[in-house]
Amino acid sequence: ILTLAQDASRIAEALDGLRAGRLSEYSLRRFVVPEAVGETDRRARFVGLDAYAAAGGRIAHDLFEDRRHLTDPALLDRLAAEKLDAAAAAMVAGGAWAWVETCAEAHVSWAEIEKGLAARVYPVEGDLTEAEAERYAELAELANADVLDAEGQADLNALSRTLDGDYTAEQRAVAGAILAIDYDGEMRLHGGLIRKADREAAIAAGVIAPARGGAGEDAEPASPAFSARLTADLEAVARAARQHAVLAKPDLLLDLLAFQLSGRAGHRAIFALRHGDVANAPGTATGFAPDARIAAARHAPADPWTADRARAFRAFRKTGKARVRGDLAQYLAQLLDLPDSALGQLIDKEAKTAIRAIWTPTAENFFARVKGAYLDTLWREMLGLPDTHPTVTTFARLKKRAKDDINGPPPAPPSGSGDGFGQPLRDAGLG
């Protein structure tokens, strides 16, 4: 770390601090090069080390850890801002947007942005032919199973772009965007933003609808026409009307449920369901091999709070009924948690639940973790011998570790003949 220092006096002070125990590795680095920025900083990635050095920026090399540090953060900030501003100007000049602002922060605060916005518009979705929709569903299934090759991924990306659609020329003529640098050093664009000053032009172009009642959004708010109680009643009526209507559309309800459970709806619920993760994995993965779908992570929009859920839901349904029902089954299965033993037995009988189908007991995951008396009973049941048989009594006299080593996984039982673990495991509720 001391090789990074540009000032000999700082090295001497650092050595004194180390001898006195005042400096950790992190604090030593900050002491030696107090304003240095690591090469993985988002601004450094965006600007590039060569461009930074060409502009006169100094780079300190840590000889022992193969790290580089940029020692002029002010220059780096200026270069990043200039590059971002140039990209924004090129977008406006090329007609991509009516205006483009830049943001110095990695995270764009929508609370601040929306104060000056009249509306936000979204890309107009594209349509797939029947053959393209079938191909999309096929490729999406392969991608979900992590078996999609490069050519298939390219096809899937192309079809996805068609589905995602694009902004129209009319939208781009009145809308703008905000450009920022994300944590990976890549430009992140938030587009389709219509300022209040451009509201009338957007309405005239048919890009957004006029405000209900004809009054502009900047007009002085009138006193509410309805009381809070009446407003709540009307909201309840509207909610009931929607619920009444979807009773005749069970497929729509199932699609919506799959959409929410899969995580694609973001952080805002569609159904008033509270669900968390159900523990379904042991502490050790040894011998444990369930269907990968019961452990698959849920999908997550890039921005789970502000994502356009209507657009996302339309795209989700276009993946095809088989994919939607597959997601529904997958994420409902992940939430299955039955404390009712009678109902559990009924489900197990119909589904043909079998522990040995996904789990093989080993010394690590099972035998070393149970008492010797249980192993004695298991050994006797596996061999079908009476308590007094010499093989059984000899095994009972062994030390626990020896019993663990002898007990290999019992043979899988025939379908419908039990679990192969013996009565003690069934008594524990695991059979």
Q: Say whether pTM exceeds 0.75.
A: no
Closest CA to 376 of 360, 361, 357, 398: 398
Segment 385-421, tens digit of pLDDT: 888 888 878 888 887 777 666 665 544 444 444 444 4
Segment 159-212, tens digit of pLDDT: 888 888 889 999 999 999 999 998 889 999 989 999 999 999 999 999 888 865
**Mean pLDDT for the stretch of residues 73-91:** 94
- 379 pLDDT more than 90: no
- 295 pLDDT more than 80: no
Angle, nearest 10°, between helix axes 250-261 and 321-335?
A: 60
Q: What whole-number distance in Å separates Cα of residue 172 and Cα of residue 90?
A: 14
**Mean pLDDT for the stretch of residues 112-136:** 83
Beta bridge mates, 69: 38, 60
